[in-house]
Amino acid sequence: MKRKAILLTGILVTLMLVAGCSTRKNTAGTRFYHALTTRYNVYFNGNEAYKAGLQAQQQGNKDNYMEMLPLYPIGNKETTGIGTSDYERAIEKAQKAIRQHSIKRRPIRKPGRAYTDEYKKWLARREFNPFIHRAWLLLGKAQYQKGDFPEAASTFSYIVRLYDGQTNITSEALIWLSRCYSALGWQYDAEDALNRVNNDSLPLSLAVPYASATGNYLLGSQRYKEAIPHLEKTAKNEKNKQQKARCYYLLGQTYQLLQQPEQAYQSYSKVIRLNPPYELALSARIRQTEVMPTANSRKITGKLLRLSKDEKNEEYLDQIYYALGNVYLAGKDTAQALSAYHKGIEKSTRNGVEKGILQLTLGNLYWQQARYAEAQKAYAEAIGLIDKTHREYADITTRSEILDELVPHTNTIQLQDSLQHLAGMPEAERMAVIENIIAQVIAREEAERKAAEEAERETNRLQMREEAESQLPATSIISKPGQGNTTTPQTTQPAIGGKQDWYFYNPQLVEQGKAEFQRLWGRRKLEDNWRRKNKTVVALDDFEEIDYSESEDIAPKDSIPNSQENEATESSVSPEKDPKKGTTDSIANDTHRPEYYLAQIPLTEEAMQASNALLSEALYGAGMVFKDRMHDFQRAEAMFERLIRQFPDFAQADEAYYQLFLTELAIEYYEKKGSSAEKYKAELIARFPESRYAKTLADPDFAENAVHGKQREDSLYVRAYEHFQMGDTATVRAAEHLSSEIYPLGQHRPKFMFLEAVTRLQGGETERFLATLKELVQQYPQNEITDLAAHILKGVQEGRLLARDSHTFGSIWQRRSAELAEAGNLLGDSSSSTAILPPDSAFSTERNVPFLFILAYEEGKVNENMLLFEVARYNFSTFLVKNFDLAFAHERGIGMLQIRPFNNYDETQQYFRRLYANPEMAARLSGMRAILISEANYAQLIKQYSFDDYDAFYRTHFSSIPEPELKGYTLDEPLLNLPTEEEERQREENLPTEEDDPENGVIFGD
């Protein structure tokens, strides 16, 4: 009997397994089988990989304790990438579980089954495997921890739609969705996701995750006071000891930010009591000194100085001196604060973000004190060390760019003033100053020598220690102070991520290299001939009729006249070849000899003239930066006033007067002070009556033009352009003349000049056309139209002929390659490489080749991050198996989101139709151009054709092709078991199809 029972059970299990293997059947047996298989097979392996990734991430996480910590380790950019292989395995397993065990077909109901409301809700579900939601959640979590936040957000958004009505599942998905949005910086969406969580029915197990996500969102929104209770709850209930310490540290930072020192001190104490890693414990102790009462400043500084002398804190001296500097700064002792920050930089051994924060703080202090040269150096260093996501990164990048423009001018002013002051001294006093400078040089070199010797000794000491430690066995009882039990054997583990030996594989070294380059050369655009002043027409340097930049030398000028420069150049001959010159050269370049300094002082009339030229240019340049970039009108006023008083014959004196007039207006308007605007206006008109600046100010309509001139000039240019397209030469020339009279300083002035020049070409006046282009290039080297003008001039230089046929300049959609089309139409050499075939001859009509789908838009008018997220989310929720590559490209002012691959035109058109059939996506993509194009045609489009060229070709050759039938679903679908038309009709009516008893197995259980 027992054998019979076992045999019968075996048969039943076998039958159940056979019946349950298919997801096209939805019975109690199939649901039970697929739930069981999902839980204990694929999901189990994926979840284990996910937990391994979490552990690796927590162990490898490196926090910057000088800044606000992110609530989750994945918030640290450096942490992204740790555990990637484990997360990818978890993603793979989750996708496999969904692909193989998802049950979407509705069950067959047996006759007599009561049609209750609960049963109706169950039938309305879109997923019937009661365990598969865990695979979906695992997929999203692994994507999130991997750092792929848009993909994770797409997954959680799809879970919310897929399990609509199942609160336990959707609540957890919404919590994680909020975390994804916060990571992307989309705080409004993060708040919306949290608001959609039903707090009344929130399971107890999700209470802490909900509080954590809410606190994370509030921190990201800088609503620190509201975040406190959520952070308290998160820290109190956190199970992982290391993460618990991080939470309390963050809580202390938040209290400190809210100026609640007692609560901050208590939070840091809780961190220390948890016995965390040494660096975290030390940072908590340092932070405690910052929240102590300022009356105890002597006690605080004493404690920090004791910490700095402890040998085990050698690696963290940058943090200690940063805190010490903050204490001094709070006590209004700026000199001591600067000294502490400098010492922190000097003692820093990690050369990482901690040093970057010190440099940033120094730069801010120097900026406030108007010590711009020091601020420039500090900011240049900081940019290479701090992360681009830092809250001050954008500000200091802008300041660094401004200082790159300003400091060369202020340095020149300071140097030339000093040299001219020395030149005016009696010789005895001058020599005394030089001897004092030489003494300072010798003292500095001696200090540097001692420092180098000390550094070498320290390096040797560290090497000896490392060699000694390397001889210890792999299992050692030695551990770092404060890191647990020092008597417990520790097994040496390989470093996570491996060693990156090659320079360009180390991003930190690369950033430092960039910072050093910027310190020497300033911030420069990536382009050819970057060392030259006039980059626009550099290719034309053999074209004698064009006036290029006065000097292409990258070295800063000094006050040495040409004769002295020639002597310095000649002295570069090797001493071995010319002993006498070698001796002279060694004296002239020896900083310990007076001759070195005397050679730089403008003691002759010629040298003084050269010095004055440098000084006047620097005054004008500094004034422009102060006025236009820094809006420091008082300093701008001082620069321009000194310029016109000290150098009345300055070549650009009329422009200096005009800029001084505008500066005075700004002082009057922004600072509500009386100004000398009318005085300088009168002086400008009196001294330079023929200047375009004087004519502008003398215009009785000047005040009205200052208010409405921009709009009027815009209207005038639009009118001129329209008549240009119609071939109305007279109106174009009249508009250009009006522009020169009324708007000589207008924004569109170079465009007026270019249009007028083209009309001259059309009239056969080639020489006048070229002369105007040369003038345009010289006067407006930075204008966008200058590139085109320079290319035309280059073509003429190369012997190509000019075409006289009409030329049009359309919208961005009509733009061809700036070099091959715009210039090529004017350079009518049919044998040249710029000859363009008609679109019908260049583009291919082949359909069965790889295609791509493009969403095109004007640059700057679309939030690309949001567009990427929306399209990725749509693709993920619509095509489960089909994977698309999304990439951005930019061409001629047009941004493009490229979606590929598609095997042929039919697939691309099917994607296009389904995308725009979705009302939500159609609304989001409003205003963008959808382009269906083969890979080969895209290459032609980018090479030399406009988007309108391709659009005309597409309408002729593709629009008439019948649209493919979608019945067969060429592209992959998420609904792998597609319902029949009858099933779709029944679902819409909420009616069951056939009879089955839903209680014979796992149906409602999760």
Q: Which amino acid is at 708?
A: H
In this prediction, residue 76 carries a pLDDT of 85
pLDDT band, residue 489 (cuts 50/70/90): very low
- DSSP, res 861: S
Asked which of 671, 698, 725 is the last residue of a domain, the reply is: 698
Asked which of 657, 677, 698 is the last residue of a domain, the reply is: 698
**Angstrom distances, CA of residue 119 to CA of 113, 160, 999:** 9, 21, 10
The answer, yes or no, to whether the previous bond of 901 is cis (omega within 30 of 0) is: yes
In this prediction, residue 216 carries a pLDDT of 93
Q: Are residues 915 and 937 both part of a single domain?
A: yes
In this prediction, residue 727 carries a pLDDT of 80
Distance, CA of 169 to CA of 187 (rounded, Å): 23
Classify residue 44: in a domain, yes or no.
no
Residue 604 token pair: 């002759």
pLDDT band, residue 28 (cuts 50/70/90): low
In this prediction, residue 841 carries a pLDDT of 67
Mean pLDDT value of segment 350-377: 90
Classify residue 946: in a domain, yes or no.
yes
Q: Structural domain of residue 884, as residue ranges?
A: 845-957
CA nearest 934: which of 854, 879, 815? 854
Sign of the C-alpha dihedral computed for residues 10, 16, 17 and 19 taken in this order: positive
Q: Which residues contact 418 (CB under 8 A, 6 or more apart)?
A: none
pLDDT band, residue 575 (cuts 50/70/90): very low
The model's pTM is: 0.59
In this prediction, residue 301 carries a pLDDT of 84
Higher pLDDT, 958 or 514: 958
In this prediction, residue 249 carries a pLDDT of 93
pLDDT band, residue 188 (cuts 50/70/90): confident
pLDDT band, residue 470 (cuts 50/70/90): low
Classify residue 673: in a domain, yes or no.
yes
Q: Are residues 854 and 873 both part of a single domain?
A: yes
Classify residue 207: in a domain, yes or no.
no
Classify residue 597: in a domain, yes or no.
no
Distance, CA of 360 to CA of 895 (rounded, Å): 34
Q: What domain count does the chain have?
A: 4
Q: Are residues 797 and 890 both part of a single domain?
A: no
pLDDT band, residue 177 (cuts 50/70/90): very high
At 899-954, the pLDDT tens digits run 988 888 888 888 888 888 888 888 888 888 888 988 888 888 777 777 777 888 88
Classify residue 757: in a domain, yes or no.
yes
Q: Are residues 801 and 903 both part of a single domain?
A: no
DSSP string, 543-569: -TTS---S----SPP-S--HHHHHHHH
Q: Among 385-399, 438-452, 487-501, 975-989, name the most confident range.
A: 438-452
- DSSP H/E element including 899: strand 894-902
Q: Among 201-210, 292-301, 411-420, name the most confident range.
A: 411-420
Least confident of 46-60, 501-515, 656-670: 501-515
Residue 524 token pair: 């420069």
Distance, CA of 415 to CA of 430 (rounded, Å): 15
- Whether 609 shows a pLDDT value over 70: the answer reads yes
Distance, CA of 934 to CA of 565 (rounded, Å): 61
Return the percentage of the chain with pLDDT > 90, whole number: 19
Q: Are residues 652 and 724 both part of a single domain?
A: no
In this prediction, residue 798 carries a pLDDT of 64
Asked which of 679, 698, 717 is the last residue of a domain, the reply is: 698
Q: Are residues 684 and 780 both part of a single domain?
A: no
Least confident of 29-43, 75-89, 115-129, 516-530: 516-530
Mean pLDDT value of segment 198-211: 85
Q: Are residues 637 and 684 both part of a single domain?
A: yes
Average model confidence (pLDDT) for the chain?
76
Higher pLDDT, 892 or 984: 892
Please report, for the domain that includes residue 694, its CATH number.
Answer: 1.25.40.10
Distance, CA of 987 to CA of 721 (rounded, Å): 60
Return the percentage of the chain with pLDDT > 70, whole number: 72
CA nearest 746: which of 777, 772, 774, 708? 708
End-to-end CA distance of the chain, in Å?
37
Three-state secondary structure of 746-793:
CCCHHHHHHHHHHHHHHCCCHHHHHHHHHHHHHHCCCCHHHHHHHHHH
At 744-791, the pLDDT tens digits run 777 788 888 888 888 888 777 888 888 888 888 888 877 777 777 777
In this prediction, residue 485 carries a pLDDT of 42
Residue 631 token pair: 């809006």
- Whether 806 shows a pLDDT value over 70: the answer reads no
Higher pLDDT, 214 or 998: 214
Burial of residue 283 (CB within 10 Å: 0-12, 13-18, 19+) is buried
Q: Are residues 707 and 820 both part of a single domain?
A: yes
Do residues 540 and 774 lie in contact, with contact meaning Cβ atoms separated by under 8 Å? no
Higher pLDDT, 700 or 698: 698
Please report, for the domain that includes residue 897, its CATH number.
Answer: 3.30.70.1070
Q: Are residues 678 and 787 both part of a single domain?
A: no
Q: Are residues 807 and 852 both part of a single domain?
A: no
SS3 643: helix
In this prediction, residue 967 carries a pLDDT of 36
In this prediction, residue 815 carries a pLDDT of 53
Classify residue 83: in a domain, yes or no.
no
Distance, CA of 556 to CA of 607 (rounded, Å): 16
DSSP string, 49-64: HHHHHHHHHHHH----
In this prediction, residue 2 carries a pLDDT of 60
CA nearest 761: which of 834, 828, 849, 676? 828
Please report, for the domain that includes residue 714, its CATH number.
Answer: 1.25.40
Q: How many CB atoms lie within 10 A of CB 976?
A: 17
Distance, CA of 443 to CA of 1002 (rounded, Å): 86
Q: Are residues 671 and 715 both part of a single domain?
A: no
Classify residue 266: in a domain, yes or no.
yes
Q: Are residues 722 and 822 both part of a single domain?
A: yes
pLDDT band, residue 690 (cuts 50/70/90): confident
Three-state secondary structure of 119-163:
HHHHHCCCCCCCCHHHHHHHHHHHHHHHCCHHHHHHHHHHHHHHC
Distance, CA of 108 to CA of 110 (rounded, Å): 7
